[in-house]
Amino acid sequence: MKIKNLLLAFAVISLFVSCEKDEDKDLIASKNSHRIKQSVYESGKLDFTYEGEKLVKVTQYKKDESEDYIEEYKGEISYSGDNATAIWYDKHSGIWEIDDKIEYLIQNDLMMEEHHYDYENGNWVEDRKWTYQYSGSNITAWQSFYYDEEDGRLEQDGKGEYIYQNSELEEYKEYELDESGNWFQSNKETFTYNSINLINTITYRLDESDNWENNSKMEFQYSGDNVSQMAYYYWDREDSQWESQNSVSFIYNDNGYLSEELLEIGGDRTHEYEEGHGNAKLFLYYPQELVYGAPTIKSAGNRNRNYVPYYQRLNNR
């Protein structure tokens, strides 16, 4: 279970360069020395617990009829070297019961594999698997697998690939298997930039004649370097035009961390931080979610032409 930036550039030419350089470093370091503590939403909240710099527990609460928070779900995370295992529990009648397990294979702060298990009759049975490939720190492909009970093994059922131009994400392609077991491209997404920022993404689907047609769109607005709003649209096939679907606005605290997400249709979320470093972002997002321009906890997630790669965004946590 997943609970689903920014480069600072200075051009200074004066005698102040040498004396302000260390001050800038101190300022950046102080701003980075925080980690997510709590996320609150309309029907509940998430609390994050750390040991040292590692996330070891996530507790999900729901509101009861009296608007009090009661424990509903929790994940306990253990580590073996760089790898991690999270076991999730549901609470029933005051008793925690095992729900599922995820094993994370991590190399150089990059998520390489995720193995998902169900708990059946006292045994762990692998249910799903995701694998990821990278070029440097840029994700280039993912694959998904499911457990086939008849064959008794994992079978691949999906994959995607990312196309870059000068380290800038240009196109995403997704594939599925047809009834004959052959791969076909089922989805694609394109990315449009102005001179600095990502301004929209458009997804396409296949029509009845296997031609690509518009499906959905996201548009980005900015306040300075931060994404201030994302607007969602769907393609009205009958009228051949984009129709507004939803939007979300983003508010940042004094350190520039994402603090509020305000949805047009309701369901706002707030984020609270505490001093210290942590690795929560590694477990809150799938790698493929971090290549887009949507703001994430702590950092703005700006996809500008000075692209901050996936692993650096994870380290800025």
pLDDT over 60 (residue 28): no
pLDDT value at residue 208: 92
Instruction: Give the H/E segment covering residue 73.
Output: strand 69-80
Specify the pLDDT at position 225.
Answer: 81
Amino acid 32: pLDDT: 65
Give the pLDDT score at 180. Answer: 94
Is 90 exceeded by the pLDDT of residue 27? no
Q: What number is the average pLDDT over the span 134-162? A: 91
Q: Which of these, 112, 115, 62, 58, lies nearest to 88 by C-alpha position?
A: 58
Residues 109-144 have pLDDT tens digits of 889 999 999 999 899 999 999 999 998 878 899 999
Q: Give the confidence band of 305 by pLDDT, cuts at 50, 70, 90.
A: very low
With 60 as the cut, is the pLDDT of residue 304 above it? no
How does pLDDT run across 35-90, given as a tens digit for each residue? 999 999 999 999 999 999 999 999 999 999 899 999 999 999 999 998 999 999 99
d(CA 185, CA 173): 7
Q: Which residues of 268-299 are buried (b: 16+ CB within 10 A; e: fewer)?
A: ebebbbeeeebbbbbbbbebbebbbbbbbbbb
Q: In this model, does residue 223 exceed pLDDT 80?
A: yes
Would you say residue 22 has pLDDT above 70? Answer: no
Q: Which of 157-161, 196-200, 286-290 has the highest mean pLDDT?
A: 157-161
Check pLDDT > 60 for residue 274.
yes
pLDDT confidence tier of residue 311, bands split at 50, 70 and 90: very low
pLDDT exceeds cutoff 60 at 306: no
Reference 283, options 21, 48, 67; nearest CA is 48
Average pLDDT over residues 100-117: 93
**pLDDT score of 309 more than 70:** no
What pTM, to 2 d.p., does this model score? 0.81
Average pLDDT over residues 247-275: 92
In this predicted model, which residue has the larger pLDDT, 273 or 20?
Answer: 273
Share of the chain above pLDDT 90, in %: 62
Domains of the chain: 16-35+109-315 (2.40.128.720)
Q: Using CA atoms, how far apart are residues 82 and 216, in angstroms rounded to an integer?
A: 38
Q: What is the pLDDT of residue 50?
A: 96
Contact partners, residue 194, CB within 8 Å, separation at least 6: none
Q: Write down the pLDDT at residue 299.
A: 63
pLDDT at 190 over 70: yes
pLDDT (mean) for 240-251? 95
CA–CA gap between residue 182 and residue 223 (Å, rounded)? 46
